[in-house]
Amino acid sequence: MTDIHKTIVVTGVGVVSPYGLGLDCLQAGMLSGKSCLVPTKDLYPGFEGTTAPVGELALLAKNFSSRHSRTDQLAAVAAGDAIANSGSDRSSFRESGIVMANTVGGLTEIDTGIAEDPAAWYRRPGGLLRGSSYPFAHVADAVGEHFGIRGPRCAISVACASGAMAIALAANMLLDGAASIILAGGSDPLCPFTLSGFNSLRALDPNPCSPFDQNRKGLNLGEGSAVLILETLAGASARNANILAVLRGWAMTNDAFHTTAPQQQGSGLADCIHLSMDMAEVSGDEIGYVNAHGTGTPLNDIAEANAYEAAFRGRNHPIPVSSTKSYFGHCLGAAGALEAAVTIMAVRAGALLPTLRLTDPIDSPGVDWLRGEVKRQPLPLAMSVSSGFGGSNTVLIFGSGRS
Amino acid sequence: MTPKMTSNITPNTTQNVPDVAITGIGSVSPYGPLAGLIPQSPPEPTTITAWKTAGLRRAFLVPPFRPASVVPGLKTRRLDRLSAWALVASSLAIKDAGIDLNQVDRSRVAVVFATAFGCVDLTEAFYLSAAANGWNGTDPSTFPETLPSAPASHVSMFQGLRGPNVTVSNKYFAGETALIQAASLLRNRHADLAIVLAGDAIAPTLYSWYEVAGLLSPACYNSDALPQAGGFIPSEGIAALVMQRSGSSDVRSEARAYARIGSGRWAAGGEAAKIIQQMLGDSVPSLTVCSGNGAPCATSPTSALARQISGDGAAIILPQAFALGLAGTGALFHLILGLSGKLGGELRIRPGNGQALLLATAADNGFAALGLELP
């Protein structure tokens, strides 16, 4: 029997993505098979590659000052969309918690001059304010201050698992009674610092990426933000909130293996999947779809395939898996939150999204690599998987709100 | 191999039962690397020599030391100082707790790290490499070490810890946030043991920000000025605590507890006294350890709130300048300093009342509070 005080539900989803503003916009774009990956030049001098930018942010993010970075603005736009999507008045969220993830913080507002002569850089007009947006905690504050939310605030940064981990930790906070409603998600923009970093590691595919393909060549960076409104079923029912999905299980592990590479057998991720299913009290057979981390890098995808083989061994049918980074790139600290939103959308729409440009999948008999057309079928339970540098893994399991 | 499973998630329904204990302490600070409690003599700011300054500039700096001389076999050559200190402090805390990790299920050990600024040394180095070579010529070995989560990742890698690995922050209460999140991971059965760390390192970009903003204490410019003279003296260092849940099967149940952590609350606003009193239930702390946010006047609103909660007779430990200099990540040092004073016998609390409070306030009405039970 469901314990309504221990059941975490999603009552709002806000998204700003390369498709535009809102979950509906994301859904329409993805179900039509549209890729947002575009040829990109001049994000820094000499850069030429493929990215998924969010356009016209300035039109969306009104009332921001120079002390708000692009990371802040993306987060606030997504949070505003989540509040609107929830159908509740903004005042309902005054005492809410905020758990926001990112990896870039205010690096978008800073250039190389800051390291060459910091004092001179800060004395430039707006220098101190731009510098003050650097800490990754600034994003949670920006959301809180923009909407007058004064509950507990927590910033998370665990590389590419950040957005998913924010949701997992927020769920724990709800069980602890730290707040009755929490806005949780992630935000990250395109930025020379991270583009240069991934380029230096030779991790970027110059063309649109092909996750899980035998001929994959790397990842594409994207940008965006997603924010979920989480609360207990008891709280949501008491205020008659619209329940979009149930967060059935969540787990976090670490590979304890390497700074950038995943453990090649995927054991840390497989453990994380097991733990999340254990919490959700479901078997591997009950998971209808996995929204994979699926970066398109040679090392990540093979480790992930191995993890699925291990975690879903004994299933009656291969586990359906796809990477939606093939649609809008890798959004770093926002990725886990955006993909949680995609997974909720998949559950609600009964849609198994294919990986785009997947022609020659990794040989992995226990996995049904989704490709081609969108598969339409009832989807009671789906899983969102995130991993990151430093070996962090987070798995979230979402179920239909109707159940 | 699948890690040992525990029962399904159990919410914390007994908020006032301090079922999480602090069993180990380690630190890297102006006192140098230390296991256990910290000496009561406050450190002095020292002169910055690591980079060129326009005249005398001082801060509470970590004295240079070889990490491998403290933790044999430790390799830190390519790491940010913050990562190296995290490795040393966590090793010292584990040693202080008397824990043999070979006897522990490492998939049940979490790492929770709080930082305001992350790996600023290597972030600056990455910018300098971009300035010198262009953005297409940056150093690939530096980039992953610039991530704020790199220190926590190194702790997991070095110690083989495969439980949740979390890096958190909060403008004013990053340390408190780490303590509360770690307790939450333990109570919600995501881990049996947690290594909690908080700290930051000073680099030119950070120090210059405070200087250009006009926030530095006269003691930063003048060696005759006392640290107590007011203003802000930046600090660096990392504190580490071993936290474990009572009754966890894989961890020694007879471990010495420096303190037990009850519930915690933090918020960006609201009625702090009311929320904290609600959190504490019937108990009235006889000791309050004031943390702070680094602002020059952090002390007095925190003290006033402490008196509102505990009455005039309760003991209050005011923040020490060096811990205040860590801004949002100073809470663990404040707590260690408070425990050092209490357990070292310098402080008296009401007989039979071991209830204590770690308390911080911020200029914008925010607060953080953790209920503690002292031995």
CA distance B207 to A118: 9
8 Å CB contact between A70 and A139: no
> Cα separations (Å) of A345 from A27, A84, A289, A342, B259?
7, 17, 12, 5, 46
> A78 lies in a domain?
yes
Contacts across the A-B interface (CB distance below 8 Å): 252
Cβ A144–B268 below 8 Å, yes or no?
A: yes
Same domain, A304 and A162: no
> What residues pair up with B168 in beta bridges, in sequence order?
A156, B114
Same domain, B130 and B244: yes
> A13 lies in a domain?
yes
Residue that is last in its domain, among A188, A211, A238:
A238
Same domain, A201 and A157: yes
Cβ A122–B208 below 8 Å, yes or no?
A: yes
> B109 lies in a domain?
yes
Same domain, B207 and B303: no
Task: Tell me the CATH number at A381.
Answer: 3.40.47.10
Same domain, A69 and A117: yes
Residue A330 bears catalytic tag? yes
Output the pLDDT for position B294.
Answer: 46
Same domain, B186 and B324: no
Same domain, A215 and A96: yes
ipTM above 0.95, yes or no: yes
Identify all chain A residues contacting B145, using CB atoms and an 8 Å cutoff.
259
The encoded tokens of residue B168 equal 């958190």
> B368 lies in a domain?
yes
| Nearest CA-CA distance, residue A386 and chain B, Å | 13
CA distance A144 to B364: 12
> B336 lies in a domain?
yes
**Chosen from A94, A167, A195, A200 to mutate, greatest number of chain B CBs within 10 A:** A200
Output the pLDDT for position B91.
Answer: 98
Question: What is the pairing mode between strands A97-101 and A20-21?
Answer: unpaired
> A244 lies in a domain?
no
Encode pLDDT of B11-41 as tens digits: 333 344 468 999 999 999 999 999 999 987 8
| Nearest CA-CA distance, residue B41 and chain A, Å | 32
Task: Tell me the CATH number at B225.
Answer: 3.40.47.10
Cβ B149–A122 below 8 Å, yes or no?
A: no
> A243 lies in a domain?
no
Q: How many domains does chain A have?
A: 2
Range of the domain at A291: 249-400
Cβ A176–B188 below 8 Å, yes or no?
A: yes
> Cα separations (Å) of A113 from B124, B208, B362?
10, 13, 32
CA atoms within 13 A on the CB side of A3: 8
The encoded tokens of residue B235 equal 């600090």
> B198 lies in a domain?
yes
* Neighbouring residues of A31: CB distance < 8 A, sequence distance ≥ 6: A349, A351, A353, A374
Same domain, B66 and B164: yes
Residue that is last in its domain, among B195, B229, B258:
B258
Encode pLDDT of B125-144 as tens digits: 999 999 999 999 999 999 99
Residue that is last in its domain, among B214, B234, B258:
B258
Same domain, A101 and A57: yes
Q: Nearest 5°: phi and psi at B373? A: -120, 120
The encoded tokens of residue A284 equal 């591997």
Same domain, A180 and A228: yes
Sign of the Cα torsion B66, B179, B209, B127 reads positive
**Which residue in the set A122, A253, A392 is minimally distant from B209, CB to CB?**
A122
Cβ A123–B212 below 8 Å, yes or no?
A: yes
SS3 content of chain B, % helix, strand, coil (to 5): 35, 20, 45
> B332 lies in a domain?
yes
CA distance A52 to A40: 9
> A114 lies in a domain?
yes
Same domain, B104 and B223: yes
Single out the residue of A274, A321, A272 nearest to residue A301, CA to CA: A321
Q: Which segments of chain A have a pLDDT < 70? A: 1, 57-63, 65-66, 402-403
Output the pLDDT for position B16.
Answer: 43
Cβ B135–A47 below 8 Å, yes or no?
A: yes
Range of the domain at B268: 260-373
Same domain, B193 and B135: yes
Same domain, B66 and B215: yes
Question: What is the pairing mode between strands B355-361 and B287-290?
Answer: parallel
CA distance B140 to B125: 12
Cβ atoms < 10 Å from Cβ of B200: 28
Residue that is last in its domain, among A173, A204, A238:
A238
**DSSP states along A244-276:** -EEEEEEEEEE--S-SSSPPTT-HHHHHHHHHH
CA atoms within 13 A on the CB side of A319: 30
Which DSSP letter does residue A391 get? Answer: G
Same domain, A362 and A259: yes
Q: How many domains does chain B have?
A: 2
Single out the residue of A287, A282, A280 nearest to residue A367, CA to CA: A287
Residue that is last in its domain, among B236, B258, B280:
B258
Same domain, B177 and B235: yes
Output the pLDDT for position B40.
Answer: 78
| Nearest CA-CA distance, residue B317 and chain A, Å | 25
Single out the residue of A369, A381, A37 nearest to residue A209, CA to CA: A37
Output the pLDDT for position B364.
Answer: 76
- Please tell me which residue in A154, A160, A209, A331 is annotated as part of the active site: A160
CA distance A166 to A153: 11
pLDDT along chain B (375 residues), means of 10: 33 52 97 93 93 96 97 95 98 96 96 98 97 96 97 98 98 96 96 97 97 94 81 94 79 75 92 93 88 55 88 84 88 92 63 82 88 89
